[in-house]
Structure formats: structure tokens, C-alpha cells
Amino acid sequence: MYRLERLGTWMTVISALLVALLYGVWTPDLDTVTLEQRYQYAPTQAVEVDGLRIRYKDTGPRDAPAILLLHGFGSSLQTWDAWADSLDKRYRVIRLDLPGFGLTGPSPTNDYSEQTDTETLTRFIDQLGVTQLAVIGHSMGGKMAWSLAASQPARITALVLMAPDGYPRPEDIGTKPYASSSVMHLIKYFLPKYFLEKSLEPAFYDATQLNETLVNRYYDMLRAPGVRAAILARGDQTVYTDPVPRLKRITAPTLLLWGEEDQMIPSRNAQDYERDIPRSTTVLLPQSGHLIQEERPDVGLTAVSHFLDQHLPQ
């Protein structure tokens, strides 16, 4: 009996320790109101597209040329803060939390296919009354940007692709590059900030630029309601397709902007896009990684502004 009592005591202690450990790494979602206040979302800047409430920011003169900014995987519209503060002096700047991210959150249909992304963006700009626009897209957002430009070539006045995703090797066509393992699904419940920070470091050439404010913002937005599950669903639904036929349909002047030290989507990929997009030029930025707009915003913006000044009416 004594041994059983002692065993029971130890089981109670171990259970208490496990509960304490899990409580320490348990990562619940943050509520929408807190995030709205923390990141200054205006309640009026939201539109519904096919049951999805898209949150966005729309700044600058309404009669100026419009620019649509599309963020990358795991990010949100705040990635463009530094650029928007400058560009909206001359242009109408529209940036949104893409489906599955930020305060837009998960799609009610759980559909994150290429076709649905393009249709959603088209209906979004239709609702804002924008007939023609320039598009700047980064990484995953770069893929969405060139898909939009290929589907509506007459509507896109200029295109900036920053380390865009979506140009696989021939042998990878048909594969799912971002399919998640069962272990990855644990991020819906446990997401230590330390692991997030380590996953962001490769996106920077100079990791010292990854400051606490930036890490906290990524961490907060990954904890927006339903976002982690939506990210996993998007990864599982992403299939590499042959981009060449669509890239050849793009007629807008196109800037391919890359950090020379990009560890996530190598700058050598620029030559593939430049070969297939008819009116494209490449600018490589030295000592820059994947997140140009956050690591070296001034340098990246200089290249983008020069390109836009050439191709958009002032």
C-alpha cells in the first residue's frame, strides 16, 4: 500500500509539472479587438468578398495612380509600413491582410488555391472602384501579383516582383512544396516566440535588424484568430504549376527586385522570370536578404520609386 501511495504521489507531481510546462508554452489566439487597437486598423476599412471580411489600409490621394501591395507568407500589411508612409505622398496606396493572414483571417471556404486567390484579389479591387493599378508583391505575394497581372494584363500598369515565389524546377511541377507534417500542426497550440524569431532570421542578411518590435508584430499576427490553422491549410493546398504560359501573358513593365543574399528564394531565380516576362528588368541589392522592405527599406524604396516614376503618371 505504501508503494502505491508513493506512486500516486509521484504521478500527481509529474502531472502537475506537465500541466505547468504545457501552460508555459500554450499559445492561444489574441482577440481581434486587441490587435485592431495595437496596429491601428480602422473599422471602416474592411470589405466582404465571398463571405471573407478583408481588412486593408487605403491611404494617399484618391485621384492619384493606385498601387496594391501584397505581403508574403506569414506576414501582414504592416510589412509595408515604411514604404506606404513615403509612397502615399504621391500615390493611392492599398495594402491588405491577404486571405488566411492578419486580421482578414481564415477563408470561410478554406480554399487557398491560386485561382481563388486571383479571383478574390480581383473582386477586392473591384469593390474599391479601382480600374487600373500597379502591383507590388513580395514572395508569396509576388506570386499572387504576377498571377493577377497575367489574368488581367490590360488592367495592370506596372508590376514589382520582390523575390516572387512560384517558379519551380521542372521536376518539381505538381509537388506540394509547403505541405506540413503532423508535428507542424502543433503550432496551432504551441508557438514559442523564440522559435518564431529563429525562423525569421534567415530572411535577413543582417540578423541584427530583426528587432524586438518586428518579432512581436509577426508573433501577434500569427496569433490572430484562426491564422495558424489557415497557414497550414494554405501550405497543404499549394501546388507548384508551370508558370511560363502565364508569365508570357504579362504586358506591364516589370521590375524584378531581389536581395543578393536572399537565403529563402535565391536571386539566381530572377533570370528565369526575366526570360519569360516580356518587359522585365532586374535589380539586385547587395547586402540584402529576403525581407528588403523591412531590413533595408530605404534602399529598396529608392529602386522601386525610380521604377514607378518611370511608368506611372504623376
Return the CATH number at 54: 3.40.50.1820
**Domain tally for the chain?**
1
Residue 224 in any domain: the answer is yes
What's the average model confidence in pLDDT over 17-45? 79
Contact residues for 95 (Cβ-Cβ < 8 A; gap 6+): 56, 57, 68, 69, 70, 71, 77, 80, 84
Q: What is the arithmetic mean of pLDDT over 229-237?
A: 96
Q: Is residue 154 part of a domain?
A: yes
Angle at 36 between CA 38 and CA 192, to 5 degrees: 60
Q: Residue 17 falls within a domain, yes or no?
A: no
- Its domain, for residue 271, covers 32-311
Domain assignment of residue 135, yes or no = yes
- Cα radius of gyration (the chain): 21
Residue 2 lies in a domain: no
C-alpha cell at 211: 528587432
Strands 156-162 and 133-138 come out as parallel
Task: With CA atoms as reference, report the closest residue to 71 among 293, 298, 225.
Answer: 293
pLDDT of 269 higher than 60: yes
9 pLDDT band (50/70/90 cuts)? very low
Q: Grid coordinates in use for 267? A: 536571386
From the number of C-beta atoms within 10 Å of its C-beta (0-12, 13-18, 19+), residue 184 rates as: middle
The verdict on pTM exceeding 0.85 is yes
Q: Say yes or no to pLDDT of 10 above 70.
A: no
> What is the maximum span of the chain, computed from C-alpha positions, in angstroms?
88
Higher-confidence residue: 4 or 185? 185
Would 16 be classed as within a structural domain? no
Looking at the predicted structure, is the pLDDT value of residue 238 above 60?
yes
- 237 within some domain: yes
Whether 219 is in a domain gets the answer yes
Q: What is the pLDDT of residue 24?
A: 53
Mean pLDDT of 86-114: 97
Tell whether the model's pLDDT for residue 261 goes beyond 50. Answer: yes
Condensed to tens digits (0 to 9), the pLDDT of residues 275-300 reads 999 999 999 999 999 999 999 999 99
